[in-house]
């Protein structure tokens, strides 16, 4: 029974301190508002920037997921090797079509393999009297390219194995190319376009991807056999995309692919590989690793702002103690203990900090999600940073209010009553 009464008494004292703190806050509205604004700006800077970064991470992950979570690419690279008694030998930096085709035929792992090549990066596409900007990318692909690269069709069909084997003059267009050379509302399917001096029949249109960092809409896909025929050049480089049937087999599949391609390239066990295997998730991790430094910088800026807010709050609390010295003397004269006075001022600082924190969190989420709208990412609610912001504001309130609260609790009631 005594414990219950003691608990009720402490709860009553807490509620009374909250009531007095709220009255004190309302009595000095201008200073309170300024302090709340400073704290809110600090929290807004912290939560807003970090929310924006989370939105960017989500956008990057979503964009790279369109490549396929279990996809890797084999690309050529230049390596200089030295053998005993011989001059340095520079391995081929490109992958030939025969090597890519041999890999596709001999790779017996449960996976989908596609072969592609960059035919041209700056082409003009014509349809009738209309022509595109000279920035269209023309890529030679096989029938598996759309699957391994994460593209979808909005209309028409994909390039088929029959098209590749018979070098059919067919093309699949990106949305930007369609908008550039066809009239609004026109159906491009079965229409003819001109690339260089060759005519191609449009058989499909890619679904719009937007201006992502992985591909885009300003491109034309033609059969890889046609790319070899019309865009032939020395050392024409081909890429090999591989998508294992199961995502968890990605590492095993990439290891098998590397071993097979070393054999195809006639590399000895001691030779460095003159090609590289690039996993789609490794690109994501590389970008996210770079964004980590931006996150650290944003956190540093937010903490500096909060440090300034803490100084401002402490200054206001010290002024409040000076202005309410007589009030403190009266409360002590009628029996208030030093601990109760200290708790009152400490609670007042905490309440101001939490009000500023709540405003800053709301503004930060709204500001950060503007980036979500711009990047096309979903609305982000950074729960970790919300709770972190509440905790930081609590720490700011405790640190800023402790010294003024202790100063108030140590005032001599006789001197305080005589204060003017």
List the single range of 82-91, 183-192, 223-232 with lowest mean pLDDT.
82-91
pTM: 0.58
Same-domain check for residues 51 and 94: no
Section 320-329 average pLDDT: 75
Q: Is 1 within a domain? A: no
pLDDT of residue 79: 53
Q: Is 142 part of any domain?
A: yes
Q: Do residue 259 and residue 292 come from a single domain?
A: no
Q: How far is CA 21 from the centre of its chain?
A: 42
Parallel, antiparallel or unpaired: strands 72-76 and 239-244: antiparallel
Based on the domain organization, do 254 and 380 belong to the same domain?
no
CA–CA gap between residue 142 and residue 331 (Å, rounded): 86
Neighbours of 359 (CB within 10 A): 17
- Mean pLDDT in residue range 347-352: 82
| Per-residue b or e along 23-38, where b marks 16 or more CB atoms closer than 10 Å to that residue's CB | ebbeebeebbeebbbb
Q: Are residues 100 and 224 in the same domain?
A: yes
pLDDT in tens, 375-412: 666 777 777 778 888 888 888 888 887 788 887 777 77
Boundary of a domain, candidates 273, 296, 328: 273
- Domain membership of residue 220 (yes or no) is yes
Answer yes or no: do 410 and 371 share one domain.
Answer: yes
Boundary (domain end) residue, out of 229, 244, 273: 273
- Domain span including residue 52: 12-63+286-417
Banded model confidence at residue 87, pLDDT cuts 50, 70, 90: very low
Residue 153's Cα: distance from chain center in Å? Answer: 26
Q: Which residue has the higher pLDDT, 90 or 391?
A: 391
Find, among 347, 337, 324, the residue nearest to 402 by Cα: 347
Cα–Cα dist 336/313, whole Å = 25
Judged against a pLDDT cut of 90, whether residue 40 lies above it is answered with no
Burial environment of residue 87 by CB neighbours within 10 A (0 to 12, 13 to 18, 19 or more): exposed
250 and 156 both lie in a single domain: yes
Provide the number of structural domains found in the chain: 2
The residue-averaged pLDDT of 139-153 equals 90
């Amino acid at each position: 029974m005594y414990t219950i009464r003691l608990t009720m008494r402490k709860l009553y004292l807490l509620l009374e301190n909250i009531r007095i703190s709220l009255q004190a806050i309302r009595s000095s509205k201008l200073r309170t508002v300024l302090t709340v604004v400073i704290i809110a700006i600090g929290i807004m800077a912290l939560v807003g920037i970090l929310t924006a970064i989370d939105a960017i991470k989500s956008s990057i992950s979503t964009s790279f997921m369109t490549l396929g979570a279990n996809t890797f690419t084999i690309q050529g690279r230049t390596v200089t090797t030295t053998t005993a008694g011989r001059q340095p030998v520079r391995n081929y930096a490109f992958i030939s079509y025969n090597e890519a085709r041999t890999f596709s035929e001999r790779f017996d792992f449960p996976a989908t393999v596609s072969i592609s090549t960059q035919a041209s990066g700056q082409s003009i596409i014509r349809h009738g009297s209309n022509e595109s900007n000279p920035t269209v990318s023309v890529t030679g692909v096989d029938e598996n390219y759309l699957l391994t690269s994460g593209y979808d069709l909005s209309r028409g069909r994909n390039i088929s194995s029959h098209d590749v084997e018979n070098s059919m003059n067919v093309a699949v267009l990106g949305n930007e190319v369609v908008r550039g050379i066809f009239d609004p509302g026109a159906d491009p399917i079965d229409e003819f376009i001109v690339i260089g001096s060759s005519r191609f029949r449009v058989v499909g249109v890619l679904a719009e991807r937007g201006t992502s960092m992985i591909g885009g809409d300003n491109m034309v896909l033609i059969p890889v056999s046609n790319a070899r025929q019309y865009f032939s050049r020395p050392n024409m480089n081909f890429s090999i995309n591989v998508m294992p049937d199961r995502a968890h087999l990605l590492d095993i599949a990439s290891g098998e692919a590397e071993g097979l391609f070393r054999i195809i390239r006639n590399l000895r066990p001691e030779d460095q590989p003159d090609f590289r295997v690039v996993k789609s998730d490794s690109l994501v991790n590389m970008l996210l690793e770079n964004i980590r430094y931006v996150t650290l910088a944003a956190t540093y800026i937010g903490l500096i702002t909060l440090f300034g807010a803490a100084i401002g709050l402490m200054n206001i609390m010290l002024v409040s103690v000076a202005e309410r010295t007589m009030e403190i003397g009266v409360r002590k004269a009628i029996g208030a203990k030093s601990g109760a006075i200290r708790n009152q001022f400490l609670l007042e600082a905490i309440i101001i900090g939490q009000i500023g924190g709540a405003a800053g969190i709301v503004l930060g989420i709204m500001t950060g999600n503007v980036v979500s709208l711009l990047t096309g990412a979903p609305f982000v609610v950074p729960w970790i940073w919300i709770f972190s912001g509440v905790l930081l504001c609590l720490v700011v309130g405790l640190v800023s209010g402790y010294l003024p609260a202790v100063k108030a609790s140590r005032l001599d009631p006789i001197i305080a009553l005589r204060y003017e």
